[in-house]
Structure 1
Amino acid sequence: MTVVAWIVEGTWPACVDAVRRYGVGESGIVLLHVSGPQVPGVARGAYAGLLGRGQREADPGERVVELAAQSADRLLTAAAQRLALPCTRLERTGRVEREVVEAASGAELLVLARDGDLTRPGPHSLGPASRFVVDHAPCPVLLVWPGPVTAGPGGPQAPGPPPRP
């Protein structure tokens, strides 16, 4: 069984814990991180706008790409250590929601955490990328809260925002 866990800053521990709790043992676990293409472009545009378009030798976009890759590597390393099972680490770059859907093709389960308004359960507890992934996933989806859900006087109460790592 192939399980893809979408690793996102702030919510990844819940995904890793769900894979261990509901998971598949030691077969076919993929930890997926996707970096969006927007930030390097913004850095390049800001630099060109402030200092002129002829300043190519100091283009900050390449440095931002390098920093993003290092950050993704650290995140995937931390997730793999928490998982403590054999897994494949996969880093992709592109439109986040489309890359996640494509990476989940052929998988038997996709695990992701809610990332929108976490003060209450419901449709607003999903951000735009997560909503797209849930709507277009080519396999079953396990959607988890990024923290514990407690029972309160009107039913389940969603947790507050996830703690900063």
Structure 2
Amino acid sequence: MRVIVWLVEGTWPACVDAARGYARGAGEVVLLHVDEPVADLAHGAFAGLLGRAGSEPDPERRLLELGGTSAAELLDAAAARLGRPCTRLERIGRAEREVVAAADGADLLVLARDGDRSRLGPHSLGKAVRFVVDHAPCPVLLVWPEAAPDLTTLPPPPPRP
């Protein structure tokens, strides 16, 4: 059994805990972190300064260094929390598409809600998680990063005609 655990800052501990609890017998656990290509955006913005770009250093390289350090630290913390051998996978690109691609051939994908977590309902899924849930090529375990909201947060049923 191959389990992919999508790690996102702020919600990764819940995903690792879920993988530890629900995928004990997994042959392989892959910790996945995806960086959005913000360094490219910073370079593009910097290059567009109409001649003023030469007065300051281009931020692209520094952002790449910071992003790599941050991802490595997150993967190290997640691996320590998991407490078993695992594979670490770093990707750069649109998170939702990279996660779906990484889940190809997996037996389970673990991810956390990333939207409004104060109430139950579809708004608890942000755009990236919604895309992954809708397009994942394997079963998905969707976890709450903290305790799930009370059932009283359910919206009322629609009126009957």
Unaligned runs of 5+ in 2: 155-161
- Alpha-carbon distance in 2 for matches of 1:56, 1:108: 52
> Equivalences for 1:75-86 in 2 at 5 Å?
75-86=74-85
Distance of aligned partners of 1:11 and 1:40 in 2 relative to their CA distance in 1, 3 Å threshold: same
Deviations 1:50-75 (A, max 9, x none): 47366398221121111111100000
1:121 CA drift (Å)? 1.1
Report what 2:125 is aligned to.
126
Query: Residue 27 of structure 1 aligns with which residue?
Result: 27
Q: Relative to structure 2, which stretch is displaced further, 14-23 or 141-150?
A: 141-150
State the alpha-carbon separation in 2 of the partners of residues 124 and 151 from structure 1: 15
**Conservation of the 8 A alpha-carbon contact between 1:108 and 1:140:** yes
Distance in 1 between residues matched to 2:141 and 2:26, nearest whole Å? 18
Match of 1:104 in 2: 103
Structure-1 separation of matches of 2:96 and 2:4: 14
Q: Is the 8 A contact 2:119 2:150 kept in 1?
A: no
Per the normalisation by structure 1, the TM-score is: 0.85
TM-score for both structures, normalised by structure 2: 0.87
Q: State the number of aligned residues.
A: 154
Describe the superposition over 1:88-139 as per-residue Cα deviations: whole angstroms up to 9, x where unpaired: 0000001111100000000000000000011111111011111100000000
Partner of 2:10: 10
Cα distance, 1:150–1:45 mapped onto 2, change above 3 Å: closer
Residue pair 2:32, 2:90 contacting (<8 A) in 1 also: yes
Q: Which has the larger radius of gyration?
A: 2
CA distance in 1 between partners of 2:52 and 2:101 (Å): 36
Q: Which moved more, 1:49-58 or 1:85-94?
A: 49-58
Measure how far apart 1:48 and its partner are: 2.9
Taking a change above 3 Å as real, the CA distance of residues 2 and 56 of structure 1, as seen in their structure-2 partners, is farther
User: Can you give the 5+ residue segments of structure 1 that lack an aligned partner in the other structure?
Assistant: 157-165
- For residues 19 and 54 of structure 1, the distance between their equivalents in structure 2, rounded to whole angstroms, comes to 46
CA distance in 2, matches of 1:32, 1:53: 38
Give me the whole-angstrom Cα distance separating, in 1, the residues matched to 2:94 and 2:134: 16
Range with greater deviation from structure 2 (46-55 or 82-91): 46-55
Partners in 2 of 1:129 and 1:114 — Cα distance? Answer: 10
- Structure 1 segments of 4+ aligned residues over 4 angstroms from their partners: none
